[in-house]
Amino acid sequence: MKKTKPLKQLATLRGLVLAGGSSARMGRDKGSIEYHGVAQVLWLQQLLAELCESVYISISPKLREMTPYRDLPLIVDQHSVKGPAAGLLSAWEVFPESAWLAVAIDLPFINKALLENLKKGREPNSLATAYLHNSGVLEPVCAVYEPHARQELIKDIKDKNVSLRRVLEFGPTTKLPLSKSRILTSINTPEEHKEACMRLSSNN
């Protein structure tokens, strides 16, 4: 009889708000922008807190003393690599045995149901759980990364090709269908910000 590979136990799930970007195209810090009546970083923290053991904010060192970050549980990016991968690697240095529900700061349209679906879709032997866009692209900045995905990122550092999407494509990744692609629209410019506010206002 062929032996099946034993399932890993699901690791503790923590939340990580990826707020370490430069916000260069927006012209101001994206975490301080209000879409839902509070700063976006606070709104995401509250959303993740409903689903995760604890929530941390991944930031660059320059944001440490800025409002609203100074009073939040922070993980400061310590890696030489750029992008959201730096935040995730720094988070694993603090909690190496944890899985992370990582969400980018510039996603104002997400909701609890979308994140709950990621949590419910977790597979113990997958590196990650992510949404699959209609284009066939996996979404790297609203996804769950299991602890064993860390080693793949470390390998990528050695290869000088660090990318969360690369980890998802390498897999195994649990792929979830995305019925409404616009829900994962990132807002990066003042023009997009204005349009997003109008869209959110019309939905209320």
pLDDT at residue 187 greater than cutoff 50? yes
Contacts of 147 (CB under 8 A, 6+ apart): 11, 92, 96, 97, 98, 99
User: pLDDT confidence of 6, banded at 50, 70, 90?
Assistant: low
Q: What is the DSSP letter of 95?
A: -
Residue 89 lies in a domain: yes
**DSSP conformation letters of 119-140:** HHT--TTSSEEEEE-TTS-EEE
Is residue 5 in a domain?
A: no
Residue 3 lies in a domain: no
Does 194 reside within a domain?
yes
CATH number at residue 169: 3.90.550.10
Count other C-beta atoms under 10 Å from residue 186's C-beta.
16
- How many domains are contained in the chain? 1
**Residues β-bridged to residue 131:** 176
Does any domain span residue 106? yes
Q: State the chain's mean pLDDT as an integer.
A: 90
* DSSP bridge partners of 16: 56, 102
- To the question of pTM greater than 0.85 for the whole model, the response is yes
**Strand stretches in 25-163, DSSP E:** 55-59, 74-76, 99-104, 128-132, 138-145
| Residue 121 dihedral angles phi and psi, to the nearest 5° | -85, -5
Give a yes or no: residue 6 inside a domain: no
Q: In angstroms, how far apart are the furthest CA atoms of the chain?
A: 62
- pLDDT, tens digit, for every residue of 127-185? 999 999 988 999 999 999 999 999 998 887 766 678 899 999 988 999 999 988 789 99
Q: How far apart are the first and last CA of the chain?
A: 58
Crossing angle of helices 40-49 and 112-120, in 10° steps, is: 40
φ/ψ of residue 19, rounded to 5 = -125, 25
Note whether residue 2 is domain-resident.
no
**171 Cβ contact list (under 8 Å, min separation 6):** 126, 127, 128
Q: Which domain holds residue 69?
A: 13-203
**Which is it for strands 138-145 and 128-132: parallel, antiparallel or unpaired?**
antiparallel
Across the beta sheet with 99-104, the strand order is: 74-76, 55-59, 13-18, 99-104, 138-145, 128-132, 173-177
Band (pLDDT 50/70/90 cuts) for residue 202 is: confident
Residue type, 143: A
Could you tell me if residue 1 is inside a domain? no
d(CA 92, CA 90): 5
Q: Are 85 and 163 in contact (CB under 8 A)?
A: yes
